[in-house]
Every structure is written in C-alpha cells, then in structure tokens.
Amino acid sequence: MTPRSLPLLGSVLVALLLAPASTRAFSLFPELSSGSPQAVLAQAARWSSVTGLDGGIQVGIAPGVAAALQVDGDALADVEQAILDGIEAWASPVLQFDVQLDAAGTVEGPELGFEIDLFAVSDSHPLFVANPQAFTGLAVPAVDFFASRPLTNGQASSGYGITGADLYLNIDNFEFLAPLGASRLQVLTRVVIHELGHALGLGHPNETTSYDTDLDPFNAMPIDPADPFAGLIVSPNIDVTTVMSNEPCGPNPTAPCPAAFFTSLGPDELGGRAVLYPVPEPTTGMLVALGLLAGAQRPRRRSTSRRRPSTTARVRDCQPIRETHSGSAPPGDPA
C-alpha cells in the first residue's frame, strides 16, 4: 500500500450557552476506516514510535504565541502556563511531550517544522477565512498509512500513523474573550487540549461515530491495555460538554457555560487516549524497550526537514471542511 498523507482540519467553537449533558464516548479524527469498531480502532490514526512518539512528541510553540494571546492584566508567564497545561493534560507514561517555547524552528505545514507546531494567527489567516466556524482554534494533522506500526502496548498493527500536525489559535477571537478576565486562560487551556486532541487522533464525539464500552452515561470506560479494542461498541449517546466536543455550550451559545472552562481530560478523552495509546503493565521495562520514555533527546526538527521520505504520496484535502470528519477513506485505502 502506498503511504499517503491526509491533512485535515479540526476546529473548536468555544464559549457560550447551556449544555445538555449526557453520556461519555470518544471519536476518531480523521475517520478513515469502516467496519467493526475493533477494525476501525485498530487502524485509527495515532502517533507511534516510528512517527515521533519515541522520546516525546516534539512540540514547537512559535515565537510570540503567548504574547499575541496576552491581554491587559495577563502575565506572560500565565499565558505560557495555560498553553503548557493544555499540552501536559494529555501526557501519560507512553504519551509525552518535548515542548519548546518561542521555537524558531516552527514552520507551517503539518509535516514541516516540529512534529507539532503551534501558531497564533489573526482572523485573516487563510485557514480561519476558509473555516469561519473554527472560532478559537484549528488543527491540521497529516496522516500516512503503515503496513505495520507499533502500538504503545508492544503490539503492532497495520493502520494510519500521524506524521505531523499544526495547531492554530485565533488571536482575534481570544481578544473577543478578554472580558472573561483571568478565566479566559482556562478557555485557552481547554482550546489547546481540544486541538491537541485532534493532533493525537481524536474527533468530536458530538459530530462523529462515538465509541464506548457500554451505553451507561457516567461510568468509567475500562480499557485493557493488552487488548485495547475489546468490548468497544458504537455508542449513540453524546456528551456535548466534554473537552473534545466542539459545541460545549450547545449549538447557539449566547453566554459562556462551565464546559468552556474545562482544563483537564474528561472520561471521553481518557477512554480515547487509553484506546489509542494503551499503557502496558508493567510499564517501566517495556517503555524503555519501546523507547517511549522521554529523556534521550533527539535532534529537534528544523524548518526544512521532512519526516517522511519525499516519495511519500501526499493527498491534500484542504477543501474547507467543517470538522464533520466525514472522512471517507481515499480511494485505494483499506476499508
């Protein structure tokens, strides 16, 4: 199978209305496969030790990002911390991040610059012009197909690997949130969690196929790291308030709701992370063997480097999409 890339867009609409709460489930981004939940989840796009997970995913925060999001009364360090908190929210023993603030090597293009680049841009940036529904953030991951790619539990399967991603924050719309004062930084953390979630392979549970281990709205989602796809079913129940929802306060919000200020992973995100990035037991020895523990620093990506061989076929899909994630597989991709 010829590897291919599929940059897709993700966005979040933040702030605003009362939220109907209901159930817990997670979704995939992009949605590329069809079939049983187990088949889809096994092929789902994720980072692996062959695409940057070893030693921690390198995240470059472009120069001036925190300053661009600063409003009167903010300490620059507080803005930086809000961003870092959003990144670290996803960390686990197998999912770690090597973050550089004011990173000169960041470059737009999901396979350029750092493994994940974070930018703050104005409303006039072409991505936000093309995706006006992306109020405060956008994510653009690139995905290749691998005949075999390692999973974090030591197993391997064919499937999609995320090879790079760009995250964008909309400066103008964070200014719009300035009246929220310091709590605005909680919104910033939530948006970073949300967009990074896309870059890690998770979608909007309120928009796309959602997976759960049962239909119970509020119980935990137990995932066996040795068999992480077992017992997962398609759930018809939706939690619009969870961090990966793009309508945390409902479809037509007029005021902030508590969900806009979530600064940690909810059960949906914890379940999705456990499926895509299972933590093996016992951890330490296996993690060292898999090279997943951060510590041995790899060279940072430079502005012109590419992660994949230049022969990689790249299917651009930059049409404006409203994160419907309707992502049918490109022709020729395995179902």
Q: Report the site for Zn ion in 229-248 (rule: CB under 5 A).
A: 246
Distance CA 56, CA 102 (A): 18
**Which two three-digit tokens encode residue 317?**
């899909």
**Which two three-digit tokens encode residue 201?**
């392979």
Smallest distance, Zn ion to C-beta of residue 140, A:
11
Which residue, 11 or 208, has its beta carbon nearer to Zn ion? 11
Q: Does 52 bind Zn ion (CB under 5 A)?
A: no
Q: Does 272 bind Zn ion (CB under 5 A)?
A: no
Q: Does 12 bind Zn ion (CB under 5 A)?
A: yes
Distance CA 119, CA 308 (A): 22
Q: Does 327 bind Zn ion (CB under 5 A)?
A: no
Which residue, 164 or 280, has its beta carbon nearer to Zn ion? 164
Name residues whose C-beta falls within 8 Å of residue 75's C-beta, 6 or more positions apart in sequence.
Answer: none
Q: Does 169 bind Zn ion (CB under 5 A)?
A: no
Stretch that binds Zn ion, among 3-11, 144-152, 225-233, 300-308 (CB under 5 A): 3-11
Smallest distance, Zn ion to C-beta of residue 244, A:
7
Stretch that binds Zn ion, among 5-13, 207-215, 216-224, 265-273 (CB under 5 A): 5-13
Which residue, 11 or 51, has its beta carbon nearer to Zn ion? 11
Element spanning 144, H or E: strand 137-150
Q: Find, among 129, 151, 144, the residue nearest to 53 by Cα.
A: 151
Which residue, 79 or 193, has its beta carbon nearer to Zn ion? 193
Measured N-to-C along each axis, helices 184-200 and 267-276 cross at an angle, to the nearest 10 degrees, of 30
What separation in angstroms does the CA of 243 have from each of 2, 59, 213, 228, 304?
34, 20, 19, 22, 33
Give CA 178 to chain center in angstroms: 25
Smallest distance, Zn ion to C-beta of residue 133, A:
10
Q: Does 205 bind Zn ion (CB under 5 A)?
A: no
> Would you say 117 and 63 are in contact if contact means Cβ atoms under 8 Å apart?
no
Smallest distance, Zn ion to C-beta of residue 204, A:
6
Smallest distance, Zn ion to C-beta of residue 150, A:
27
Which residue, 11 or 210, has its beta carbon nearer to Zn ion? 11
Helix, coil or strand: residue 286: helix
Smallest distance, Zn ion to C-beta of residue 8, A:
11
Helices (H) and strands (E) in the chain, counts: 8, 10
Length of the chain: 335
Q: Does 10 bind Zn ion (CB under 5 A)?
A: yes
Per-residue contact flags (x/-) with Zn ion for residues 112 to 151, judged by CB under 5 A: ----------------------------------------
Q: Does 165 bind Zn ion (CB under 5 A)?
A: no
Name residues whose C-beta falls within 8 Å of residue 153's C-beta, 6 or more positions apart in sequence.
Answer: 225, 226, 228, 278, 279, 280
Element spanning 157, H or E: strand 156-170
Smallest distance, Zn ion to C-beta of residue 119, A:
16
Q: Does 27 bind Zn ion (CB under 5 A)?
A: no
Binding site for Zn ion (CB under 5 A): 10-12, 246
